[in-house]
Structure 1
Amino acid sequence: MEDYGAILATERYGSGESWHYVAKDGAMERRRDSRDAEPRGNSIVGVFKSVFLPQGYPESVSGDYLQYQFWDTVQAFSSSLSGTLATQASLRGVGVGNQEATVAAATVTWLLRDGTGMLGRIVFAWLKGNKLDSEAKKWRLFADVLNDIAMFMEILAPFFPAWFTLIVCTSGIFKSVVGVAGGATRAALTVHQARRDNMADISAKDGSQETLVNLAGLLVSLILIPLVTDNPALTIGLFFFFTALHLYANYKAVRSVVMETLNEARLAIMLRHFLRDGHVPTPLEANREEPVFLEFRKTLPIKLGVRLHEVVQSPEELRLALKKDAPFLLGFTNGCVCVCLAAHANTRDEIRAMCQAIWLSDKLSSSRQHQGFWEMVHKSYELMGSEFDRFYKGVEDAGWDVTRTLLDWDEWRFKWKPKMR
């Protein structure tokens, strides 16, 4: 064994490898740490990682990154194959291979499909754009389910020639919704995964992964197309198989995400646990319980950041609503628990207001009697006055990020005159 002098310096590349600089014959030589020695041929793996994984992986991303990306890759591959089957059906429907079909008719159908899709994209972004951050998991899964429905419609469309244009236009609207919801929620998940303000790098590498998956899907499609041509039964059978795989992979993907920011669902889970047994769930525990499907509410809906007149309609109600040192008001209007937020409220105030609204929503939903609303509002202030500090400390200790929230606040803020108190 060669004799080396003292170690002059060491350096590391993340958690991947470490090196020593040692003195030898009056020079400085760089030697890899023997404990980090990797098997032969790993240079190929290293190149693969640098091409498809963010720089600094795994330290530069969230702990759920790899599991999410695995299931996201599976769903993208199965979706690519389903899309091939749907595209083939659409082309057949507009007349490809049919000598009686005209280019003009096919072009008009395609333009109508794209035009309705553009309108659908605008309308959906207007109606639901503000929900995509706070409920990213639900809308991510919803987008993929809707995408499968749209592709199934495209496969069936050629069997209904009289309704073909209407079906493909409806499918185009669905796919436009998928584009908005899928793209926006992907951005929200990228923000969650980025731990070094490296959103652009993660997004770029995600694009590379998706391109590789689509390339693999393209190669498999070249084998499938000759088999399914003029075989509707096999086409539909394969479509259902790939769709089932796609939906399962998407469910596993959103289930694997562990977000540390507070939205309504996660905060409600934490508050209910705390009031029941004094325990504040960790991000992993709360994310496991968080619903990932859009659902019909079993509790009264909550509207945050509403206008003042949606909470109180008279000076007397305003006096009832105002509480000392509480920079928010709670009210009940049109079957909703409403919250007005003061202009000087901070993130902690937003969390407390949401906690009281959740408690009120639960109580009003179980009692189904809303006549004593103001008494229940006062009880919510008393409860949070005695328990919120302990709850908030438990939230911080459990590892939640309380510097920002994903609560769905609207932009209305109010100020009041001091004499109102």
Structure 2
Amino acid sequence: METARGVVLATERYGSAESWKYFAKDAVMERRRDGSKCESRGNSIVGAFKSVFLPQGYPESVSDDYLQYQFWDTVQAFSSSLSGTLATQASLKGVGVGNQEATVAAATITWLLRGYPLKYTTHVCNSSTVSATCKLIVFSADGTGMLGRILFAWQKGSKLDSEAKKWRLFADVLNDIAMFMEILAPYFPACFILIVCTAGIFKSLVGVAGGATRAALTVHQARRDNMADISAKDGSQETLVNLAGLLVSLMLIPIVTDNPILTVSLFLLFTVLHLFANYKAVRSVVMETLNEARLSIVLKGYLRDGRVLSPLEANQREPVLLEFRKTVPIKLGVRLQEVVESPEDLNLALKENNMPYLLGVRNGCVCVCLGPEASVHDEIRAMCQAVWLSSKLSPPTSRDPPTQSNWEMVHESHKMMDTIFKPFLKGVEAAGWDTTRTLLDWDEWRVEWKTKNH
């Protein structure tokens, strides 16, 4: 192809962001940006910024919600940085910074404890020697923080994948509560240790929940097996935000020093901004994998309207706040004895059932026992039945007491799924959901059972 610039020898592009052409004219090859005469300085600066702070191949290498999420994540990180500055100032004041009686030993211990969840506990050490009481407090601060992290990870570790949005928001709310406690602690000297230790335990939980859910969201955002790149660029973005927060904090500290009313007022302002930004951030995430909440929303919509909601529609309706359940809880991947307690119960569980899982209702829970050969589609179907059973047994329907026994409802759920599941699954896939994997919270028990015919 020949143009005024010469013959086009080749074209090249860098993702969807840039396109270039090579021209041959007078035996010379020239490279020019497609659609412009030359590369402007502005484009060069923007390109360099993207290269430093955005994942390689952006936007094709990340999920569609990446930019919106990162914008709100940046806002919340900036406001959290300022809130943290105010909390740190208050805590340092509480441990005796500025007090002539404070010793080098106390300041050293305070500095060392900065890296641990329970910090700023050395105000009792402001004497010429580090007392036995101070050493005990240091040990307690360190130990309880570590124990809190271990216990929380043990109890809620699997939920951090399946309910990443809820626990992400929970972590930020808890972090704000902990910082507020640190700000108030100096004004309650008699309870200072108790307050900051409690705040430290909260922060230890924040560290587990925040880090784990961030990893879960990175898995969602990565579209080219580029989790490490996304995580690294997220770290660069956070560092830039913290640098901006540091500059603002340097101007803010002289203003708020010795002004507790202004300190608390600014903290509350930054906290409101932080929580709002976090809410918008988790609301902007559109996950295409099914967890219990999203599958429940999609299934109930299908049973009501005959239409499968898209990932965007379902994610907009998904609750992001931790809630006290009023529905009958669902347990997935349980032991056989949690579903049946006798050979007769096993026969009842197998009735109308030709699937590699068993359902039962025991102790106020819908329990699902999974066979080792169950596929991902079988898991989705089992969850659909469990959701339907849970809704039938939930308190709102108690005004109309069920006329069926639990086993009769289980048998009815099998018949219903035989009718609707195939078209429902087809609609789910057509709507853009990923059915090759799920975020359903299955435990690891797998059971092989003998059928009643044997």
TM-score range, shorter chain: over 0.9
Cα separation, 1, equivalents of 2:36 and 2:30: 18
| 1:367-411 deviation digits (Å, cap 9, x = unpaired) | 445761011001101111000000000000000001100000000
Cα separation, 2, equivalents of 1:2 and 1:393: 50
Q: Which residue of 2 aligns with 1:293?
A: 321
Q: Which residue of 2 aligns with 1:25?
A: 26
Cα separation, 1, equivalents of 2:446 and 2:35: 61
Matched ranges for 1:294-333 at <5 A: 294-322=322-350, 323-333=352-362
8 Å Cα contact 1:18/1:36 also seen in 2: no
Q: Which residue of 2 aligns with 1:408?
A: 441
Select 1:362's aligned residue among 373, 391, 403: 391
Cα separation, 2, equivalents of 1:132 and 1:56: 28
| 1:282-320 deviation digits (Å, cap 9, x = unpaired) | 000000000000001121110000000000000011011
8 Å Cα contact 1:113/1:168 also seen in 2: no
Q: Which amino acid aligns with 2:347?
A: R
Q: Which residue of 1 aligns with 2:427?
A: 394
Q: Residues 111, 52 of structure 1: CA spacing in aligned structure 2 closer, same or farther, 3 A cutoff? A: farther
Cα separation, 2, equivalents of 1:36 and 1:176: 56
Cα separation, 2, equivalents of 1:173 and 1:127: 15
Q: Secondary structure at the match of 1:401?
A: coil
Q: Which residue of 2 aligns with 1:214?
A: 242
Q: Which residue of 2 aligns with 1:7?
A: 8
1:92 and 2:93 matched: yes
Kindly state the Cα deviation for residue 339 of structure 1 after the two structures are TM-superposed.
Answer: 0.4
Cα separation, 1, equivalents of 2:3 and 2:353: 77
Q: Could you list the runs of 5+ residues in structure 1 that have no partner in the other structure?
A: none
Kindly state the Cα deviation for residue 163 of structure 1 after the two structures are TM-superposed.
Answer: 0.8
Q: Which residue of 1 aligns with 2:131?
A: none
Select 2:370's aligned residue among 341, 354, 359: 341
1:205 and 2:206 matched: no
| 1:172-212 deviation digits (Å, cap 9, x = unpaired) | 00001001000000000000000101000000000000001
| 1:11-58 deviation digits (Å, cap 9, x = unpaired) | 110111111122222343322212697654221111111111001111
Matched ranges for 1:141-290 at <5 A: 141-290=169-318
Cα separation, 2, equivalents of 1:91 and 1:254: 33
Kindly state the Cα deviation for residue 420 of structure 1 after the two structures are TM-superposed.
Answer: 4.6
Q: Residues 120, 26 of structure 1: CA spacing in aligned structure 2 closer, same or farther, 3 A cutoff? A: same
Q: Secondary structure at the match of 1:296?
A: coil
Cα separation, 2, equivalents of 1:171 and 1:43: 46
Q: Could you list the runs of 5+ residues in structure 2 that have no partner in the other structure?
A: 107-121, 126-133
Cα separation, 1, equivalents of 2:391 and 2:143: 44
| 1:337-394 deviation digits (Å, cap 9, x = unpaired) | 1100011001000000000000000001144457610110011011110000000000
Q: Secondary structure at the match of 1:58?
A: coil
8 Å Cα contact 2:33/2:39 also seen in 1: no
8 Å Cα contact 1:114/1:172 also seen in 2: no
Q: Residues 255, 38 of structure 1: CA spacing in aligned structure 2 closer, same or farther, 3 A cutoff? A: farther
Kindly state the Cα deviation for residue 83 of structure 1 after the two structures are TM-superposed.
Answer: 0.4
Cα separation, 2, equivalents of 1:411 and 1:90: 44
Cα separation, 2, equivalents of 1:281 and 1:390: 14
Q: Residues 217, 110 of structure 1: CA spacing in aligned structure 2 closer, same or farther, 3 A cutoff? A: farther
Q: Which amino acid aligns with 1:165?
A: I
8 Å Cα contact 1:89/1:155 also seen in 2: yes
Cα separation, 2, equivalents of 1:346 and 1:240: 49
Q: Secondary structure at the match of 1:275?
A: helix
| 1:111-159 deviation digits (Å, cap 9, x = unpaired) | 5433322221111111101100000000000000000000000001011
- Aligned CA RMSD, in angstroms, stands at 1.8
Percent identical among aligned pairs is: 76
Q: Secondary structure at the match of 1:8?
A: strand
8 Å Cα contact 2:32/2:38 also seen in 1: no
Cα separation, 1, equivalents of 2:253 and 2:357: 61
Deviates more, 1:389-398 or 1:20-29: 20-29
Q: Residues 29, 38 of structure 1: CA spacing in aligned structure 2 closer, same or farther, 3 A cutoff? A: closer
Q: Secondary structure at the match of 1:95?
A: coil
Q: Secondary structure at the match of 1:63?
A: coil
Cα separation, 1, equivalents of 2:203 and 2:79: 17
Cα separation, 1, equivalents of 2:3 and 2:283: 53
Q: Which amino acid aligns with 1:56?
A: G
Cα separation, 2, equivalents of 1:110 and 1:230: 28
1:383 and 2:416 matched: yes
8 Å Cα contact 2:172/2:278 also seen in 1: yes
Q: Secondary structure at the match of 2:436?
A: strand
Q: Secondary structure at the match of 2:359?
A: strand
Q: Secondary structure at the match of 1:402?
A: coil
Cα separation, 2, equivalents of 1:113 and 1:144: 22
8 Å Cα contact 2:347/2:451 also seen in 1: no
Cα separation, 2, equivalents of 1:141 and 1:222: 28
Q: Which amino acid aligns with 1:399?
A: G
Q: Which residue of 1 aligns with 2:116?
A: none
TM-score by length of 1: 0.96
Matched ranges for 1:19-168 at <5 A: 19-34=20-35, 39-102=40-103, 103-104=105-106, 105-106=122-123, 108=134, 109=137, 112-168=140-196
Q: Which amino acid aligns with 1:375?
A: E
